[in-house]
Amino acid sequence: MLDSLHAHYALLGLHREAEIQGLRLVFALMRKLSDTDAQIELARQAADEARHLWMLERRLAELRATLSFPARQPMTLRPLAIGKDSGDTLAAACALKQRALLRYTASLPGLDREAAELREAIAADEKTHLAWFARRLARARPSPDCSPRIERFLEAEDAAFAAVSGA
Smallest gap from residue 126 Cβ to Fe ion (A)? 6
Span 82-111, contacts to Fe ion by CB under 5 A: none
- What DSSP string runs through 113-133? HHHHHHHHHHHHHHHHHHHHH
Instruction: Calculate the dihedral angle through the C-alpha atoms of 30, 36, 41, 44, rounding to the nearest 10 degrees.
Output: 80
Span 7-36, contacts to Fe ion by CB under 5 A: 19
Smallest gap from residue 120 Cβ to Fe ion (A)? 13
CA angle 50, 29, 22 (to 5 degrees): 35
CB-nearest residue to Fe ion: 52
Q: What track of x and - describes contact with Fe ion for positions 40 through 59 (by CB under 5 A)?
A: ---------x--x-------
Instruction: Calculate the dihedral angle through the C-alpha atoms of 125, 32, 56, 99, rounding to the nearest 10 degrees.
Output: 60
Nearer to Fe ion by Cβ, of 17 and 19: the residue is: 19
For binding to Fe ion (CB under 5 A), which residues are involved?
A: 19, 49, 52
